């Protein structure tokens, strides 16, 4: 009975949050003096108006899911990885490097190695702050933010120097060969196999977290590091492993963007995917399947908002407002539920 009340309360609070954000969204649309019918029509047709528009949502969701999974794994171990953005860029560097400079080999092998290179570089970029936290207790929040900016600048340096495209004055790497592309899933849309990588990763992360000893230890450390340490779990090792997997997944997001969308390394391939991934992880409650849903949801919000800007003149930044508001409300809700249950 008590459980039912709790579930009802959670459900109610979720509906309340959805209602508040919808209300704020409507007020904003009214404030710019747009036709609400037209605006909301544009919003939904941007998401579900055609098969093509829905595949665009999934293309946008792919890096969000991958990086979101990474953030979720880290958060479950209470490693506050704010560095998915930088890890994503390092992954992009790794994938581009493997795509450009490795000798010829069978296509799928090459694609696999390029993605693995993305995982590896992203992982390394997260393991450094992870190691510094576990070994020397250097707080990871500031460190991972610094690593974001360092990674972004490294990309800027690479595309202007050693990886520069000699035939173009623009700061970008040469194009990968046309074959070296994640397979398209539904011609003529842009939907690529990165989505499959994301979904498989979600299942693997689920199995890892909930069906293996390492995953159990990781969650235990996140819940109570002291108790875990007392029961013989190595907290240090666990944090290093979680940061490696976390950064690796964000690196996969970068690799998938290079091999599935852009075909070359350049600046700005991530419009804050790594930061939005944190919101995705929070909305998905750090559960792999929740992250998949939240990733698609946030992608839909962004794509819908862009369409709304194009067709009804409502600034697309409305999606940023909604995202920020959602997180604030959800944070508040956790307090509300906690204070009522005690």
Q: How far is the CB of 44 from another protein (least distance, A)?
A: 20
Note whether 14 binds another protein by CB under 8 A.
no
H-only helix segments in 212-287: 213-223, 225-230, 235-257, 273-283
Residues 21-60 that bind another protein (CB under 8 A): 28, 31-32
Conformational region of residue 332, where left means phi above 0, alpha means psi within -120 to 50, and beta covers everything else? alpha
Q: How far is the CB of 100 from another protein (least distance, A)?
A: 19
Note whether 275 binds another protein by CB under 8 A.
yes
* Inter-residue contact 248 to 120 (CB < 8 Å): yes
Residues 241-260 that bind another protein (CB under 8 A): none
* Inter-residue contact 201 to 135 (CB < 8 Å): no
Residue 320's nearest CA partner among 271, 285, 266, 286 is 271
Residues 80-99 that bind another protein (CB under 8 A): 80, 82
Note whether 341 binds another protein by CB under 8 A.
no
* Inter-residue contact 323 to 298 (CB < 8 Å): yes
Asked whether the bond before 188 is cis by omega within 30 degrees of 0, the reply is yes
Using CB under 8 A as the criterion, what x/- string covers residues 62-81 for binding another protein?
------------------x-
Q: How far is the CB of 315 from another protein (least distance, A)?
A: 4
Return the number of the residue (31 or 230) whose C-beta is nearest another protein: 31
Using CB under 8 A as the criterion, what x/- string covers residues 276-315 for binding another protein?
--xx--x--------------------------------x
One residue of 17, 102, 113, 154 binding another protein per CB under 8 A:
154
How many residues lie near another protein (CB under 8 A)? Answer: 44
Q: How far is the CB of 225 from another protein (least distance, A)?
A: 14
The C-alpha atoms of residue 98 and residue 102 are separated, in whole angstroms, by 5
- Phi, then psi, of 192 in degrees rounded to 5: -125, 175
Q: What are 246's two structure tokens?
A: 């976390």
Contacts of range 9-15, beta carbons closer than 8 Å, 24 or more positions apart? 9/337, 9/340, 10/337, 13/333, 13/336, 13/337
Task: Kindly indicate which of the ranges 144-152, 177-185, 220-228, 286-294 contains the residues binding another protein, using the contact rule CB under 8 A.
Answer: 144-152
Applying CB under 8 A, the residues found at the interface with another protein are 28, 31-32, 80, 82, 132, 136-139, 141-143, 145-147, 149-150, 153-154, 156-157, 160-161, 275, 278-279, 282, 315, 317-325, 327-328, 331-332, 334-335
């Amino acid at each position: 009975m008590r459980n039912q009340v709790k579930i009802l309360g959670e459900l109610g609070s979720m509906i309340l949050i959805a209602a508040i954000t919808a209300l704020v969204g409507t007020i904003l649309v009214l404030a710019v003096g747009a036709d609400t019918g037209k605006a909301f029509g544009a919003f939904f047709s941007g998401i579900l108006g055609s098969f093509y528009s829905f595949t665009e949502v999934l293309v946008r969701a792919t890096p969000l899911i991958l990086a979101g999974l990474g953030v979720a794994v880290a958060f479950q171990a209470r490693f506050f990885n704010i560095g998915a953005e930088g890890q994503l860029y390092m992954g992009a560097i790794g994938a581009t490097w493997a795509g450009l400079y490795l000798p010829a080999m069978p296509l799928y092998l090459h694609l696999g190695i390029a993605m693995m290179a993305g995982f590896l570089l992203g992982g390394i970029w997260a393991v450094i702050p992870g190691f510094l936290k576990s070994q020397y207790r250097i707080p990871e929040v500031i460190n991972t933010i610094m690593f974001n900016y360092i990674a972004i600048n490294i990309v800027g340096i690479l595309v202007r120097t050693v990886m520069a495209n000699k035939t173009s004055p623009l700061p970008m790497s040469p194009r990968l060969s046309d074959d070296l592309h994640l397979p398209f899933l539904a011609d003529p849309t842009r939907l690529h196999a990165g989505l499959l990588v994301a979904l498989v990763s979600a299942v693997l992360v689920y199995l890892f977290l909930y069906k293996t000893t390492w995953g159990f230890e990781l969650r235990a450390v996140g819940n109570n590091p002291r108790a875990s340490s007392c029961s013989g779990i190595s907290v240090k090792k666990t944090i290093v492993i979680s940061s490696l997997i976390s950064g690796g997944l964000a690196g996969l997001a970068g690799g998938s963007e290079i091999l599935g969308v852009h075909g070359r390394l350049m600046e700005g391939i991530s419009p804050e995917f790594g930061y939005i991934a944190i919101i995705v992880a929070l909305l998905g409650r750090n559960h792999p399947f929740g992250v998949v849903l939240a990733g698609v949801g946030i992608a839909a919000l962004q794509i819908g908002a862009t369409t709304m800007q194009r067709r009804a003149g409502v600034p697309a930044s409305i999606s940023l407002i909604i995202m920020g508001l959602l997180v604030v409300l959800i944070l508040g809700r956790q307090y509300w539920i906690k204070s009522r249950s005690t």
